[in-house]
Chain A
Amino acid sequence: MTTFNHYKDIEKKLRQAAELMPEPEKPLPLSPVMEKKNQAQRKHSFHGFWTYLLHTPAWRIAVMVLLIFTVGSTTIFAASPRLRTAIVRFFSSGITETIPISDLKSEESVSATDFSQPTSSASGKLSGNITQQTVGNLTLLQDITLDSHFTASYASSSSYLTLAEAPSGTPLFLTQTADGKTAYYRVTDGNLEEIVLKAHTLDAEVQLGTLPGIMTYGGNTKKYHNLMLPAMEFTVNWKQYGSDVLIDQTEIGHRFDISGTYDGQFVYQALAGKEDIIEVCFLLDAQQTGYQYPFLLNLKTGEVSDPLALVDLSDWLCITELSIHDDLTTATAMAGNSYEDLQEITIDLNTGTVTAKNASVAKPPTDNCVTWFSVGNDTLFYVTGTEESGNGYLYNTKTGESMVVFTDTADYSWWDSSHPSARYWKSIGYGYLVYYANDKVCLINLQDHGTMTELEGIPMNQNIDFFINNEGTVLSISTPAGKDSFDTARLCLMDLKTMEAWYFDRNLPEGVEENSHYWNGEYGYVIEARNTKNGTNYIYIYQYTP
């Protein structure tokens, strides 16, 4: 009989074999970009550094992804032998948006040596076109440009412009200039207004609690039941905006070398609407172990409290992706007795009760599944066969009825553009699949009996991004400018309730590259961009009105 230990033996054998693999022989290559930057650095003797903006921790993203797959719907499942199909046509705004950029110097006349070293007192200038142009339900553009100082900081990419993570209220724009100074701005009556927020600093000390777990380090796996870490000191910097705490983005926490063996880091997280409490998560060598211990810090008193104090987690040897909800009454985590067998648990922080969410969820009617996940309301989606050629089904765990969603379709990861006739499926969360077949792209709503909607005008292109907002109400479809481009040449927004959709084309100026796309709130879609020639930052906010 095959046991878990056998798998571990195989894993050990693989690790040993991996250690014997050869190493590269060629030296470090240097790109022209790097050479140019290095020359500029040497010229200006510029050696300062600042930490980058700390965005949402990856483990939170992972929890979000898992929630996407398990979120329930209000739709009652009724098995249907045939898929209902529809076509959604994307209406063009009729406008090709030429992205405005202000004060952009002629690239030909600019060289690295033209720039002077920024002074410590200089600050970035924020300007923008708060145009609020609207077409239909879409506000076309609100662009904010952070320039001036940045055109003088050629050698530095530490400047940035982004939306601050203010959980509520007016969106705040956070800037950091090349000299490390940060500033917040808000839009008031169509104008940008800098707001000066008082900075706070707090030194705190924490004695972390105990958690069971498995730690793998240096190829050795060690189980522990009461990991006690020594008391550690850390510093947190923050600013207050209304009822929200804005973590100072220049401070991402100390790193610790614990007993000379393990490396750790504190990560701070504001809680929506909380004036005095933040969540601090201690990550112990997170890349290797996934170990994390969250606790709460009272910013007024410096008191540290353990939200897991009442919780008995001794039944779970492996706990990862632990996240405390903003209301401080519940937490979620992935837990199990091995990392190969994790399930989502919900922890009631007031009573210490631990509930395994999947405990009552039935499995698909076959063990031969490539993948499966719940789409809510006693319904599972599962794929049988292989990833290269699988059959997808919806399965009602109460009635035992199954219906076919697709057949002979490859997992998206098997995309091969040399076989245009192939069919692919891809989950985009919230109970939706993207289905590619016959040069058509369709959206399948698993929560609505697998209803298939053709997305007319969306080409069969592997590089198109589909991104649903956190509320599951609006889908963005971003078509890149080219094969290797991250820039959005065409942005489509689709209301998943009404199935109405719009698109518009975008012309991005040469030299400007987009680096981040994300939803901000239910209806705000944000694109952050940067001019690679002179470091100027741009932020474009598209507001969708349902």
Chain B
Amino acid sequence: MKLLPQIARGDLHALELLYEQQKTKVYRLVLSMTGDSYLAEDITQETFLRVQEKAWAYHDDISETAWIVTIARNMTYDILRRRSREIVNGEAISPDAFVSLDTDEQSNLMFLDLIKDLSQPEKEIICLRILANLPWHEIGQIIGQSADTSRKRYARSLKKLYSRLQP
């Protein structure tokens, strides 16, 4: 059952259900993009606020997961871009500067450690596939490439990871 049409009509139960279904997926995806657990919490919240306000615009030509992931992705990039332009002491802050993990968190973030050396598009394709569990054609829609290209990029990313993880 699709939940977004119900949310568009103001169904709070449907919204709660959707949040329970998708929150972990969205949070982990954003966390992997930002490396900042606090920022990831905030963006996850913002994503679901946007979902509520834009639910009417959802159409069935993409899955609900892919639609929500697209919102989360765009919002994350927007925030990272804005923050990277902020000037502190005359120096621009890069997205990496926002990584603020405590020791407990780091023990749970082996995933981030595994992908840390990949380029941003490579990280993204890994996250969309592994964390969001999206099919190739929807990953392709999200990143603006064909399903085939998405698959190839994913395979190349795995290949790179494999070569880097070899002793």
User: A residues within 8 Å of B by Cβ?
Assistant: 2, 6-7, 9-11, 13-15, 17-18, 20-26, 28-31, 33-34, 36-38, 40-41, 46-47, 49-59, 61-62, 65-66, 69, 155-158, 252, 255, 286-288, 290, 320-321, 334, 339-340, 342, 371, 373, 386-388, 411-414, 416-418, 426, 486, 513, 515-516, 530, 532
Contacts and interface: CB of A to CB of B under 8 A. Distances in A.
27 contacts: A7-B162, A13-B114, A14-B115, A15-B130, A21-B31, A21-B108, A22-B109, A24-B23, A24-B44, A30-B52, A34-B12, A34-B15, A38-B12, A52-B5, A55-B61, A59-B137, A62-B136, A65-B140, A69-B148, A157-B8, A158-B9, A334-B148, A386-B119, A387-B119, A418-B85, A513-B57, A530-B57
Contacts of B26: 24
Contacts of A41: 9-12
A422 B141 CA distance: 24
B10 A340 contact: no
B88 interface: no
Given A17-B114, A26-B45, 8 more contacts: A22-B31, A24-B41, A34-B53, A58-B137, A65-B146, A288-B135, A320-B137, A530-B56
A66 B151 CA distance: 13
Contact of A515 (B6, B56, B134): B56
Nearest to B10: A37
Given A49-B6, A53-B59, A18 B16 contact: no
Contacts of B136: 62, 290, 320, 339
Contact of A2 (B12, B59, B152, B162): B162
A49 B11 contact: yes
A380 to B, nearest CB: 14
Interface residues of B, number: 83
Nearest to B58: A52
A20 B110 contact: yes
A6 B10 contact: no
A62 B137 contact: yes
Contacts of A413: 121, 143-145
Given A33-B52, A49-B5, A54 B60 contact: yes
A42 B108 CA distance: 42
Nearest to B105: A22
A66 B146 contact: yes
Nearest to B143: A413
B155 A7 contact: yes
Given A2-B162, A33-B52, A24 B9 contact: no
Contacts of B52: 30-31, 33-34
A339 B15 contact: no
Contacts of B61: 55-58, 61
Nearest to B5: A52
A29 B162 contact: no
Given A34-B12, A412-B144, A10 B5 contact: no
Interface of B: 1-2, 4-12, 15-16, 19, 23-24, 26-28, 31-32, 37, 40-41, 44-45, 48-49, 52-53, 55-63, 65, 81, 84-85, 92, 105, 108-111, 113-115, 119-121, 126, 130-131, 133-138, 140-141, 143-149, 151-152, 154-155, 158-159, 161-163, 165
Nearest to B110: A17
Nearest to B135: A290
Given A2-B163, A532-B56, A28 B19 contact: yes
B126 A14 contact: yes
A33 B53 contact: yes
A418 B141 CA distance: 25
Q: Taking each of B52, B58, B92, which has the highest tally of chain A beta carbons within 10 Å of its own beta carbon?
A: B52
B59 A52 contact: yes
B109 A158 contact: no
A155 B56 CA distance: 11
A155 B41 contact: no
B159 A7 contact: yes
Given A17-B114, A61-B137, A22 B108 contact: yes
A288 B134 CA distance: 7
A489 B40 CA distance: 33
A530 B55 CA distance: 12
Contacts of B31: 21-22
A288 B163 CA distance: 28
Contacts of A54: 60
B111 to A, nearest CB: 4
Q: Taking each of B1, B84, B147, which has the highest tally of chain A beta carbons within 10 Å of its own beta carbon?
A: B147
- Shortest 5 CB-CB contacts between residues of A and residues of B: A37-B10, A62-B137, A157-B8, A17-B111, A24-B27
A61 B59 contact: no
A316 to B, nearest CB: 15
Given A17-B114, A24-B23, A158-B5, A58 B161 contact: no
A411 B134 CA distance: 22
A343 to B, nearest CB: 8
Given A24-B27, A418-B85, A29 B45 contact: yes
Contacts of B146: 62, 65-66, 69, 373
A339 B9 CA distance: 38
Given A157-B55, A388-B119, A14 B114 contact: yes
Q: Taking each of B1, B62, B81, B135, which has the highest tally of chain A beta carbons within 10 Å of its own beta carbon?
A: B135
A22 to B, nearest CB: 5
Contacts of B37: 22
Contacts of A252: 60
Q: Taking each of A20, A286, A320, A413, which has the highest tally of chain B beta carbons within 10 Å of its own beta carbon?
A: A413
